[in-house]
Amino acid sequence: MSIWALHGLRDGVVTTRWPRRGDEYAHAWRGPAVVRGDAAAAHIAAADAAAMCPTGAIEVSGRVAVDQGRCILCGRCVAARPDVFAWSAGATGPRAATVTRQALVVPPAPETDAAVAAVRAALAARTAALRRSVHIRHVDAGSDGAEEWEIQALLGPVYDVHRLGVFFTASPRHADVLLVTGAGAPGMAGPLRATYEGMPDPRVVIAVGADAVSGGLLGDRLTGVSAIVPVDIWVPGSPPPPFGILKALLIAMGKLVR
């Protein structure tokens, strides 16, 4: 008998039941930094940590806020000012994947519920045909390789994206979703745009990771992939967990609304 069959008999089913059921591993996952609820006025204390942030993710002008789209999870702010900053928890929470870039700023910046609802409704209407299954074209637009490991994990037995009707394709002509990693390097601008234009409508673009969302550590020179292609869903993290990427895909398919 194959050794893999023996492993299967020993371990049983290891595939996560999420989103139909909760997953303890997803809820325990450490996410980008947040501002503690009692620290809204701690401007002086936060300024110390803001100076340490390598990506400028901490805002202290007028209020204390963290742009999770820029946070690379280095932990400097949490280590320096644990009274002001903490780690977020839950890889499937409301900001594991968002339909607006502004929603990644915490505490939430002024943004009306009606405006967010309108964006969600427009996306749902545009992608109604994708609810049964989707095909993904992944493009690396200058990443450090971290996000690629998490995307590769989606094909393993634990996450098994095929059970959700999600498949990868090598051709943009067959793709419904463009999954983009990397900061948007100039040399990849042409190929990325050509891939997007080669996809049939309706098409959805997902920016995966802090590099794709904001440029990450290269944010002073590159601003992410939204300068090249229109982004519909934003996934923070450096790298984001597979659950965050799964959530973005389920939003694209209309199976999750937030």
**Chain-centroid distance, C-alpha 258:** 13
pLDDT at 183: 96
pLDDT at 53: 94
Q: What is the CATH number of domain 30-89?
A: 3.30.70
pLDDT at 64: 86
Helix 242-252 vs helix 146-153: angle between axes, to the nearest 10 degrees? 70
pLDDT at 109: 64
> pLDDT digit string (tens) for 48-87?
778 889 999 998 877 789 999 999 999 999 998 898 899 9
Longest dimension (CA), the chain: 66
pLDDT at 8: 66
Query: Domain map of the chain by residue range?
Result: 30-89, 113-252
In the β-sheet with 166-168, what is the strand arrangement from edge to edge?
A: 166-168, 134-140, 177-181, 204-208, 233-235
CA end-to-end distance (rounded Å), the chain: 45
What's the CA gap between 195 and 243, in Å, rounded? Answer: 25
Among left, alpha and beta (phi > 0; psi -120 to 50; other), residue 130 is: alpha
Give SS3 for 157: coil
List the beta strands (DSSP E) in 118-189. Answer: 134-140, 166-168, 177-181
pTM of the model: 0.90
Burial 186-224 (b: 16+ CB within 10 A, else e): eebbeebeebbeebeebbbbbbbbbbbbbbbbbbeebeb
pLDDT at 7: 66
What is the torsion angle, in degrees rounded to the nearest 10, for the CA atoms of residue 241, residue 246, residue 252 and residue 255? -140
**Quick count: other Cβ atoms within 10 Å of Cβ 114?**
7
In the chain, the amino acid numbered 9 is L
The two structure tokens encoding residue 174? 């067959």
pLDDT at 161: 94
What's the CA gap between 139 and 161, in Å, rounded? Answer: 18
pLDDT at 20: 86
DSSP state of 94: T
CATH 3.40.50.11540 assigned to 113-252 = no
What's the CA gap between 46 and 10, in Å, rounded? Answer: 50
pLDDT at 232: 95
Alpha-carbon separation of residue 117 from 50, 121, 156 (angstroms): 32, 6, 34
What's the CA gap between 143 and 2, in Å, rounded? Answer: 38
Does the fold of domain 113-252 match that of domain 30-89? no
Give SS3 for 229: coil
What is the chain's pLDDT, residue by residue, as a tens digit (258 residues)? Answer: 567 677 666 777 889 988 888 888 888 888 999 998 765 556 666 777 788 899 999 988 777 899 999 999 999 999 988 988 999 988 888 889 999 999 999 887 665 666 677 777 777 777 777 767 899 999 999 999 999 999 999 999 999 999 999 999 999 999 999 999 999 999 999 999 999 999 998 899 999 999 999 999 998 899 999 999 999 999 999 999 999 999 999 999 888 755
